[in-house]
Chain A
């Protein structure tokens, strides 16, 4: 074997890694060391990297990679996991390494397999010659629970995306374990793994030239774009996600950002005349191609599962009529059935006139009598799979007697739904665990994208390893780790890369903001602002309380009592009414997320919303959101024994970080506008509301104190002092808080900041103002014209100012409704019927 690495490593026997010994298992093929204990040539540079590495270094490597992943916000959602959305994805920083010699046959085999599955899909959805010729028993198709009868006979579509899970047996042969044809996931994680691994290991380890990934994604987008009907040159592409509940939602968000396409959920799309449209804030925009990450049967509540909340009614017709490109087509899920595996060699000869290049692991379909008997008698040594479940694999040797009997009965009742597969001893690869290198079994997920005839295979893929040496389960849901996969290129390969790189990658239509995303941003901003506003109010209240404790002044008590209804504007106080809210009640207003309206309640709502917009946030912005969430978690856990006001500042700082980061990174047309609009509207309403609540309670005893608190809770106290000195009258307060254009937190400034935002939304500014702009103007003009001296005493405040503010309030409420009505009209309850 020629030395493919640019480094010359003296041949060595065994791996001398100083403190870090590595001993492969006797029973499995090891990727790095051969049977003689020699490091395989393509691993030598890797092995060299570890010469002189200590256990401590390994530990640091691991920590470093997890830290980097966390910074990137990479998650893998585990259903029913208490940690929920934030369970980190586990990445082993040590890569799996491939030589070109090992890889080339795999690549060819995968290309062939993808072509074969594409042909098989067309055939099953079309003439069904494979069934007529007896190459595939009809039960495998017709009795597959995921067979979509209604898709048969539509405009044929190729299988654009293909993935396969491979494992290497003890003799060094790669076997196909299963095929992924519906919405293969993992490609986004590969990108992330590459980025982190390269950074963590540093330049030293990556001296070799590793085949880059960028090209694969270029080809992927090219093949997907080619599905657009009518050869649309600049197609609108969306990725249809099942949303935040999906285990790989992070990847959906990551991929759309990489590909420059739009992330959508079922609700964002609508079918009209058999075409698919995207609901944007402006209008309906036709969608040319859908990258589908919602399973077949959930994709269309009219045609398939009626209880699906993830789909789009009429989507099946749109595909069948050829009016939208679908990657992968509806109906492709059935190809994942392991029952097809034993028939693939014959199908390959039929469709491709070729012998199958990659072997699949021995599989027996129980729909055949002989095979069924074999599976039942050998159940201890087999893996049992249902034809319609990608997961839920049962290891015969792990079953109790009762479980085994139960399984055998189920197989006998519906034999066509089960297969038995040979247990394979997967190869091992060095993996970091407990500050040492350990052999772990690996499964490689490989990816291909193509047009049905020609496929581009991602160099490498996603290597997943089992959590311990005795297990062959590599699922991330079961605690498995992922690894980057390096295909080491020989000399000169980098030139190929450059030559192949697309000369002119046209700037395609940028991602489109959906109406749902706009609404979510708008509400996220309102939640955040509401939480912030309540925080400031509670802080002002606490300072007042401190005064009262210090001086025992009755007017301070009066002020505190009068502030209660203001706090209740946000948070309903339950139970026995106290004269003053107790401190623990106040603490609940901040930290009890179950208490409707509390700070935590609002921030949690904002953060949940932020997760649904994962693709929009910049790295920094996402960090700010995660830090807020961590702060919430932390303070909720450690709230006992910490002074109340100590919670407040970190939250305010966290919120400011978010606002700063979002304003710096989120362009107006990419959603920033809705964030700004929501924040301004919420703040205007809060300011008006709080003054309005207090208008009627002013009296000689409390007026100075209340004015002080109002300014403080609106973060205007300092600027007021600078402008008016210690003079704090009705006039100065109303002027500064409501009417002062140079005070950025005044009502007039907040409202006028909305004007240019709305102007941006106006599609035809030359035709004059939109109704929404007029609405804002009808609130803004009286504000600009008002004179604070007309509200200069308690009486005038109670009458004139209250009336003025009531009108303002009505204007803003209506404005909020107008926005909802005009821009967020996408979500409506759905009704199904059958008769």
Chain B
């Protein structure tokens, strides 16, 4: 089953000197212990179309073939794939394949303002209305005293936005260790602050919570990032994972993305998929099925940089 969910490709801005093209393959496989008779799912897998991100191609393949599917746009502007599988099945495989063109979004003067000038309360009424969801605590990024102290220490009075934000990301990067499997999808922020290790999702939630507690407007972003194998080793298929980071809203700039897990600005090596208040708004895949029994999915993500030629001669 192929479904192309991409919009018409958007032109990249003139300012973008060099476009890097990335091919993404994201496969999620559920092997159920029992037979599932019916399954209902929602997937946030389609990359977002942005000035700095062109979506050349996107398709979602679902096996077994869904009896019904429907693509909708959620209230944050993400594309959501709803599908129903009616026939009994032992496993469910969802494969998302995309080709995007990425270019960095250079910082502008607005990113150099003192951070106090860009809080939610300093926004105009119309912007407030559009960004209200991102200004307050949310289910998985609740208010937390420690997160606030953390953010406060980087956002010292009148410090420029970009500098403060990168410092904040760096601090999280240094103080917490990345350990796959240390946390689950439902691990709370408090638990993460206690054990001080986790995955990108936890890093992002901490950053989101900290920024919002200062009155800033912050979003959780789900996506992918290119990874490089250690020197001399071949890159393995599926070795990458789905990724998440944080974005701070800067008026006259837009969303300023930073990746605390990797301590870097989000650039042309990241693919943006969906924006929400936290993970619970934009999980790559969620579902309900009957009779199957609980099972952890097998997830494989592969990102590869491709040349312009490969693009035109593509499959």
- Residues on A lying within 8 angstroms of B by beta carbon are 128, 131-132, 134, 138-139, 141-143, 149-150, 152-153, 270-274, 301-303, 306, 313-314, 317, 320-321, 413-414, 416, 828-835
Question: A139: which of B76, B132, B283 is its contact (CB, 8 Å)?
Answer: B132
Give the interface segment out of B96-104, B158-166, B294-302: B294-302
Task: Let me know if A302 and B287 touch, CB within 8 A.
Answer: yes
Q: Which residue of A lies closest to B28 (CB)?
A: A835
* Contact B129–A835 (Cβ < 8 Å): no
Residues of A close to B73: CB separation below 8 A:
153
Shortest CB distance B203–A (Å)? 18
Closest to B126 in A: A132
Task: Identify the closest chain A residue to B293 (Cβ).
Answer: A831
Closest A residue to B284 by CB, please name it.
A835
Q: How large is the interface on B (under 10, 10 to 19, 20 to 34, 35 or more residues)?
A: 35 or more
- With a cutoff of 8 Å between Cβ atoms, the chain B residues found around residue A131 in the complex are 129
User: Considering the chains assembled together, what is the distance between the CA atoms of A176 and B74 in angstroms?
Assistant: 35
Contacts of A301 in B (CB 8 A): 288
Contact status of A139 and B136, CB under 8 A, knowing A150-B75, A835-B297:
yes
Nearest residue (CB) in B for A317 is B82
**Interface 0/1 of B134-176, CB less than 8 Å to A:** 0011000001000000000000000000000000000000000
Complex interface: chain B residues within 8 A of A320 (CB): 72
Given that A274-B70, A302-B40 are known contacts, is A833 also in contact with B294, CB under 8 Å in the complex? Answer: yes
CB-CB < 8 A to B36: which residues of A? 831
A143 to B137, CA, bound (A): 9
Q: A834 contacts B68, CB within 8 Å? A: no
Among A128, A132, A321, A833, the one with the most B-chain Cβ atoms within 10 Å of its Cβ is A833
Interface flag for B270 (CB, 8 Å): no
Contact B287 A833 (CB under 8 A): yes
Give CA–CA (A317, B41) in the complex, Å.
11
**Known A271-B40, A271-B84, A317-B82: A832·B288 in contact at CB below 8 Å:** yes
Residue of A nearest to B30 (CB): A833
Would B288 and A302 count as touching, CB distance under 8 A? yes
Decide yes or no whether B59 CB sits under 8 A from chain A.
no
Whether A272 pairs with B290 at a CB distance below 8 angstroms is no
A831 and B75 within 8 A (CB): no
Task: Verify B40–A142 contact, CB threshold 8 A.
Answer: no
Task: Evaluate contact between B132 and A143: CB separation under 8 angstroms.
Answer: yes
Seed contacts A139-B136, A831-B289; 15 additional CB < 8 Å A-B pairs: A128-B129, A142-B132, A143-B132, A149-B133, A271-B84, A272-B86, A273-B68, A302-B41, A302-B287, A303-B42, A314-B84, A830-B289, A831-B290, A832-B286, A833-B297
Chain B, 262-315, CB within 8 A of any chain A CB: 281, 283-295, 297, 299
Selected A-B contacts with CB under 8 Å, 17 pairs: A134-B125, A142-B132, A143-B136, A273-B68, A301-B288, A302-B287, A313-B40, A313-B288, A321-B70, A416-B136, A829-B290, A831-B292, A833-B285, A833-B289, A834-B285, A835-B185, A835-B299
* Separation of A139 and B137 alpha carbons in the complex (Å): 12
CB-based contact A302/B42 at 8 Å: yes
**Does B37 lie at the interface of the complex (its beta carbon under 8 Å from any beta carbon of A)?**
yes
Residue-by-residue, is B49-82 near A (CB-CB < 8 Å gives 1, otherwise 0)? 0000000000000000001101011111000001
In Å, the complex CA distance between A152 and B283 comes to 19
| Complex A-B, nearest 5 residue pairs according to Cβ-Cβ distance, in ascending order | A138-B132, A313-B40, A273-B68, A313-B288, A142-B132
* Complex Cα gap A273–B66 (Å): 10
Instruction: Closest A residue to B74 by CB, please name it.
Output: A150
- Are B289 and A834 closer than 8 Å at their CB atoms? no
Q: How far apart sit A320 and B71, CA to CA, in the bound complex (Å)?
A: 12
Contact B129 A828 (CB under 8 A): no
Shortest Cβ distance from residue A290 to the other chain B in the assembled complex, whole angstroms: 17
Residues of B within 8 A of A153 (CB): 72-73, 75
Alpha-carbon distance A835/B299, docked complex (angstroms): 9
- Measured between C-beta atoms, what is the minimum distance from B95 to chain A in Å? 14
A138, A270, A272, A306 interface centre (most CB from chain B within 10 Å): A138
A833 near B295 with CB under 8 A, answer yes
* B23 proximal to A (CB < 8 A): no
| CB pair B291 A832 closer than 8 Å | no
B-side contacts of A273, CB under 8 Å: 67-68, 84
**Cα separation A320 to B289 with both chains bound (whole Å):** 21
- Do A138 and B75 have beta carbons less than 8 Å apart? no
- Of B68, B75, B284, B294, the contact of A272 (CB 8 Å cutoff): B68
Whether B75 pairs with A149 at a CB distance below 8 angstroms is yes
In the complex, residue of chain B having the shortest beta-carbon distance to the beta carbon of A314: B40
| Any A CB within 8 A of the CB of B235 | no
B38 at interface by CB-CB < 8 Å: yes
The reply on B93 being an interface residue by CB < 8 A is no
Interface residue? B196 (CB, 8 A):
no
User: Which B residues touch A138, using CB under 8 A?
Assistant: 128-129, 132
Q: How many Å lie between the Cα of A302 and that of B67 in the bound state? A: 17
- Find chain A residues with CB under 8 A from B286 CB: 302, 306, 832-835
Shortest Cβ distance from A127 into chain B, in angstroms?
A: 12
A271 surroundings in chain B (CB, below 8 A): 40, 84
Is A835 a contact partner of B285 (Cβ separation < 8 A)?
Answer: yes
CA distance A828 to B289 in the complex (A): 10
User: Of residues A149, A320, A413, A416, which shows the largest number of chain B Cβ atoms within 10 Å of its Cβ?
Assistant: A149
Q: List the A side residues contacting B185 at CB < 8 Å.
A: 834-835
| Chain B residues numbered 246-262 whose CB sits less than 8 Å from any CB in chain A | none
Q: From residue A461, how far is it (CB to closest CB) to chain B in Å?
A: 36
Nearest Cβ distance between residue A137 and chain B, in whole angstroms? 9
CB neighbours of A303 from chain B (8 A): 42
Give A367 Cβ to nearest chain B Cβ, in Å: 10
**In whole angstroms, how far apart are the Cα atoms of A128 and B128 in the complex?**
13
Candidates B70, B74, B292; contact of A317 at CB < 8 Å: B70
> Closest A-chain residue to B291, C-beta based?
A828
Closest to A128 in B: B129
Specify which chain A residues have a CB less than 8 angstroms from the CB of B281 in the assembled complex.
149
**Minimal Cβ-Cβ distance residue in B for A134:** B125
Chain B: CB-nearest residue to A413: B143
CB of A563 to closest CB in B, whole Å: 43
Shortest Cβ distance from B147 into chain A, in angstroms? 14
Q: How far is the CB of B136 from chain A (nearest CB, A)?
A: 5
Expressed in whole angstroms, the minimum distance between the Cβ of B44 and any Cβ of chain A is 11
Please measure, in the bound complex, the distance between the C-alpha atom of A830 and the C-alpha atom of B289, giving whole angstroms: 6
Residues 10-33 of chain B, each 1 if its beta carbon lies under 8 Å from chain A, else 0: 000000000000000000101010
Minimum CB distance partner of B281 in chain A: A149
Chain B residues contacting A833 (CB-CB under 8 Å) are: 30, 285-287, 289, 294-295, 297
Query: Are A828 and B288 touching (Cβ within 8 A)?
Result: no
Instruction: Identify the closest chain B residue to A835 (Cβ).
Output: B297
Q: Is the beta-carbon distance between B287 and A152 smaller than 8 angstroms? A: no
By beta carbon, the residue of chain A nearest B128 is A138
Q: Closest A-chain residue to B125, C-beta based? A: A134
Chain A residues lying within 8 Å of B128, measured Cβ to Cβ, are: 138
- A272 touching B129, Cβ below 8 Å: no
User: How far apart are A459's CB and chain B's nearest CB, in angstroms?
Assistant: 40
Distance in angstroms from A396 CB to nearest chain B CB is: 25
Q: How far is the CB of A475 from chain B (nearest CB, A)?
A: 29
Tell me the bound Cα distance from A730 to B83 in angstroms: 65
A416 to B42, CA, bound (A): 30
| Contact partner, A149, options B40, B68, B74, B299, Cβ 8 Å | B74
B residues less than 8 Å from A413 (CB atoms): 143
A601 to chain B: closest CB distance in Å?
29
Distance A199 CA – B128 CA, assembled complex (angstroms)? 59
Smallest Cβ-Cβ distance to B242: which chain A residue: A835
Contact of A832 with B287 in the complex, beta carbons under 8 Å: yes
Of all chain B residues, which has the CB nearest A140?
B132
- Report A-chain residues with C-beta under 8 Å of the C-beta of B133: 142-143, 149
Provide the bound-state CA to CA distance between A134 and B28, in Å: 43
Q: CA separation between A306 and B289, bound complex, in Å?
A: 12
CA distance A143 to B120 in the complex (A): 14
**By CB atoms of chain B within 10 A, which of A141, A301, A302, A413 has the most?**
A302
Whether A835 pairs with B283 at a CB distance below 8 angstroms is yes
Among residues of B, the one whose C-beta sits closest to the C-beta of A275 is B68
From residue A520, how far is it (CB to closest CB) to chain B in Å?
Answer: 20
B136 cross-chain contacts in A, Cβ below 8 A: 139, 142-143, 416
Q: List, in ascending order, chain A residues with CB within 8 A of B38's CB.
A: 270
